[in-house]
Structure formats: C-alpha cells, structure tokens
C-alpha cells in the first residue's frame, strides 16, 4: 500500500449466507471493502465468501450465533483480527423472517416469540456490544429494521415488535456511541425480492407495487445502496435515524 492509498475497510455482515445479507456482503466487497461473512449456516457463509474471493475481493466466513454472547465475542475477535485490529462497519442483518408462522397474537407460540426476539433484537445488541471495543471514529453500525413497523402487519406481532425494537435500540446506541464519532442508523426495507420473500407469497414481484410511489418491486440492490450510503463519508453527520426504503409506499 502506498502513502496515497486508503486501507480497505473491514465490514462485518451478519446473516450473510444468502438473501439480503449476501447482497450486502457483495455490495461492500465491490467497492473494495474486506468482508466478514457471519452466519449460523457455515456452508452458506463459505459460499458467500467464495463468491467474493472469486470476484477478486477479500472475505472471511465465520460461523456465528447472534443470540449467544460467547459466539458474538468470538465473531468480533475474528473480524478484528481479519481487519488488523479494527472493525469499520457492522451490518446487523441476521433475522428470523421466512420461517415465521403468521398467527393472531393470541395464538403465537411462546417459544417462537422468544426465538424471533432473540435473533432479531437481542442479536443486534449482542453483536454491537461485542464489536464495540474494535470500533473507532468513523465506524458505522447499520441495523436492519422493517417498513412494516410503520404500518403494522396483522398476524405478525412478534416480527413487527422485534423490528420496532431495532429502531429503539438504534437510537440508544447512537446516543451512547456518538461521543466516539461512531454512527448508528437503521434501514427499514419494504417488501424486497429476496429468496425468502419469493417463497412467502405468490406473485411476489407485483405485491404492493400499486401502493408505492415508484411502481416497481424492491430489489436487493435498492437496500444495499442505502447501506453503502450510511456507511460512507457522505453520511458522517447522520445518526440515530431510520431510513425507510420502500419505494414510497408510506411516509413518516
């Protein structure tokens, strides 16, 4: 590296074995960042890392359980070692989504409620807590919420509540990490055409399009672009915010 070159950033993406997490990993890698691909599905994580390497990038796959304090500490240590002692961007993407059984709130299984909360809300807290010692001025934390928090979604109380909690957590973390010049923001995607979403409903490509200001379905690249912005130099004075990326289906 010459004196004029900027060192590659280290970007940790959870839930990156596939879907939107893989899209985040590949999007950051395409701009020269080195990627830590974290997931419970280690084979999928290795596949994502392999795709990045085959495209000329740097990637490390790490098996991790975001609901475990021990696992997240090990993940953060591995990411920091890969990044020469520093983590520059954390994308808290891991979530339970496609496997959720939609039920009236009275009928939601208690164990399923706890599992959704553990991954979707406890996970971002544990990962950010574990990464905190390795974050420095200019680092960014990006948490994945959901646009459904703004409108509600019947028979999905646990998912919506968990993603609402992500917004609240984002605001608290922004307050606590701001003195260290670390930004913390959330992205709230609308229905996006990932593998998980395509398996949830028929005619996914047209779902909700008529309700949007932009008359097309959301693609992963739309959400990735928001993350690249929130992790980039143009957003250094933005923190504690939730960026709704839903094609103008609702305004807040």
The residues carrying an active-site annotation are: 159
Residue 41: strand, helix, or coil: coil
* Beta-strand pair 34-39/59-63: parallel
Residues 122 and 67 sit within 8 Å (Cβ to Cβ): yes
Residues 96 and 84 sit within 8 Å (Cβ to Cβ): no
- Axis-axis angle for helices 157-177, 110-117 (nearest 10): 30
Please tell me the distance from the alpha carbon of residue 13 to that of residue 8, in angstroms, as a whole number.
Answer: 16
Nearest alpha carbon to residue 218 among 228, 207, 231, 227 = 207
Please tell me the distance from the alpha carbon of residue 242 to that of residue 239, in angstroms, as a whole number.
Answer: 9
Nearest alpha carbon to residue 95 among 191, 21, 199 = 21
Give the H/E segment covering residue 55.
Answer: none
Strand order of the β-sheet with 10-14 is: 59-63, 34-39, 10-14, 89-92, 140-144, 183-189, 242-245
Please tell me the distance from the alpha carbon of residue 40 to that of residue 133, in angstroms, as a whole number.
Answer: 23
């Amino acid at each position: 590296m010459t004196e004029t070159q900027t060192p590659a950033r280290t970007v940790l993406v959870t839930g990156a074995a596939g879907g939107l997490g893989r899209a985040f990993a590949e999007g950051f890698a395409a701009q020269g960042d080195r990627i830590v691909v974290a997931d419970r599905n280690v084979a999928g994580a290795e596949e994502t890392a392999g795709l990045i390497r085959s495209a000329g990038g740097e990637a490390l796959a790490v098996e991790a359980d975001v609901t475990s304090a021990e696992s997240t500490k090990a993940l953060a240590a591995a990411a920091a070692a890969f990044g020469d002692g520093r983590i520059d961007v954390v994308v808290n993407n891991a979530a339970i989504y496609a496997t959720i059984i939609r039920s009236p709130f009275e009928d939601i299984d208690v164990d399923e409620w706890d599992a959704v909360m553990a991954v979707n809300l406890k996970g971002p807290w544990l990962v950010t807590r574990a990464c905190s010692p390795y974050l420095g001025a200019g680092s960014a934390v990006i948490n994945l919420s959901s646009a459904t928090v703004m409108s509600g979604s019947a028979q999905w109380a646990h998912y919506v509540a968990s993603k609402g909690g992500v917004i609240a957590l984002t605001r608290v973390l922004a307050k606590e990490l701001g003195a260290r010049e670390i930004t913390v923001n959330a992205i709230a995607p609308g229905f996006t055409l990932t593998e998980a979403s395509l398996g949830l409903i028929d005619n996914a490509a047209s779902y909700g399009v008529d309700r949007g200001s932009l008359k097309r379905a959301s693609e992963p690249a739309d959400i990735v672009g928001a993350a690249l912005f929130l992790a980039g130099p143009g957003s250094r004075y933005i923190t504690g915010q939730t960026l709704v990326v839903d094609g103008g289906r609702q305004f807040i």
